[in-house]
Amino acid sequence: MILPDNKVESYIDVNDSIDLFIDAFEKRFGEVEEQNGVYNWSGVEIDSIGKNLKIKMLHGIWTTKKNEITFNPISPEKAKKIKSNEKRGVRIRFFLKDGKDALISKANEIILIQIIESMLNSSTNTQNE
């Protein structure tokens, strides 16, 4: 996404298994307090990328207005009242220790997607046992 000031904002969007996804992140990186649909992890270490990373996860809903789709953070309690799970989503941003966007690098993006898939597979296997 390109912001009005020409800065690039990179994120990963997830539209399914939202509760499982949040649980997997809390299991891997520790529980944090959700504030209005926003989860923040600091001091995270991810192999091949670095230490002291920051992860910001927004839990929200997708809305369409005038043919434009937007993502709006919403608390999990309010999201549970939404009838259709397909409108819920998670948007994740990763920051390097210097505050720069970790997803700018394609190599980092691939590593992070693989880690996320691994976390979800691990959580699914644990629930099935």
Confidence class of residue 86 from pLDDT cuts 50, 70 and 90? low
- Given this model, what pLDDT does residue 60 score? 83
Which pTM was predicted? 0.76
Helix/strand/coil (H/E/C) assignment for every residue in the chain:
CECCCCCECCCEEECCCHHHHHHHHHHHHCCCCCECCEEEEEEEEECCCEEEEEEEEEEEEEEEECCEEEEEECCHHHHHCCCCHHHEEEEEEEECCCCCEHHHCHHHHHHHHHHHHHHHHHHHHHHHC
Under the banding of pLDDT at 50, 70 and 90, the label for residue 123 is low
Q: Give per-residue pLDDT as tens, 62-82.
A: 877 777 777 888 877 777 777
Mean pLDDT of 28-43: 89
pLDDT band at 128 (very low <50, low <70, confident <90, very high): low
pLDDT confidence of 54, banded at 50, 70, 90?
very high
Residue with tokens 């970790």: 102
Distances (CA, A) of 84 to 64, 65, 70, 80, 103: 14, 17, 17, 9, 30
